[in-house]
Structure 1
Amino acid sequence: MSTNTDSAEPIRIAFMCVQNAGRSQMSTAFAERERDRRGLDDRVEILTGGTQPADHVHEEVIEVMDEAGFDLSDRTPREITIDELQSCDYVATMGCSTLDVGEVGSAVDVRDWALDDPDGADLERVREIRDEIEQRVIALFDEFSVAT
């Protein structure tokens, strides 16, 4: 693993799954918030995508994220490429990736968060997934954030 510590180069993080319509979208929203809270706008780049993107973010995800103060209604799932993933310091997959993460290379810290798919789940379960994602994102930022 090669974690980026050069202050001139931002840390790149990717959150990915198959559809980019649930877990990776929630992860991205929490990561954007953490980046802002920690004053890391110029130090952290956040990517998100899927291997087979859906047409829209799942309705139950939009609803539970709205409860937490995030508006994901205007977000659009997108495809993520191997090149994008290879440019990252960290890649978090959600437990459903069709990507062979070996293709990403050993220089990237790839983590499989193995989270349940919120698509079609009842709102209470989606909230549980949301809350677990929030804690994982905070922990990830704790790993590389240092007081400046």
Structure 2
Amino acid sequence: MAEGFFRKYAPVGYEPQSAGTRPVDTVNPLAIAVMSEIGIDISNHQSKVISDSMIKQSARIVNMGCMDKESCPAIFVQNVLDWGIPDPKGKPLDEVRKIRDLIEKKVIDLCKALE
């Protein structure tokens, strides 16, 4: 969801790279649905494994909220924005909408700070 919002709101010259420590095969169908409700299509997004090069080449690094503290790269990287956003996996539709709206607010604030 954050990648979808960043693509919408990012200042010119910025490109999102969304990745995690344990990527899944498919994007959460509820995440796709709630983003579709507001006109953002993330159905073709694919989970990626975070890499050292991604971290080194990033202007900003945002930790959505690592579920696995032992393998979370954000705890080893300096200047990480830690949003502490809950994982939408297994949540009911209304909760996923609340998570979506929180992510949108955070991404808008981040984009304003990058201008």
For the pair shown, the structure with the greater C-alpha radius of gyration is 1
Count of equivalent residues: 112
**Alpha-carbon distance in 2 for matches of 1:51, 1:99:** 7
Aligned: 1:32 with 2:7: yes
Higher helix share: 2
2:15 aligns to what SS in structure 1? strand
Unaligned runs of 5+ in 2: none
- Residue 38 of structure 2: which of 68, 73, 83 is its match? 68
TM-score after normalising by structure 1: 0.70
Tell me the SS of whatever aligns to 2:80. strand
1:49 paired to 2:19 = yes
Q: Deviations over 1:106-140 (max 9, x none)?
A: 3xx31111011111111110000000100000000
TM-score, structure 2 length as denominator?
0.89
- 1:82 touches 1:103 (CA, 8 Å); kept in 2? no
In structure 1, stretches of 5+ residues that fail to align are 1-25
Percent identity, please. 33
Q: Where is the strand percentage greater, Structure 1 or Structure 2? A: 1
CA RMSD of aligned residues (A): 1.4
Between the aligned partners of 1:119 and 1:102, the Cα distance in structure 2 is 22
Equivalent residue in structure 2 for 1:94, among 55, 64, 74: 64
**Equivalent residue letter for 1:27:** A
SS at match of 2:91: coil
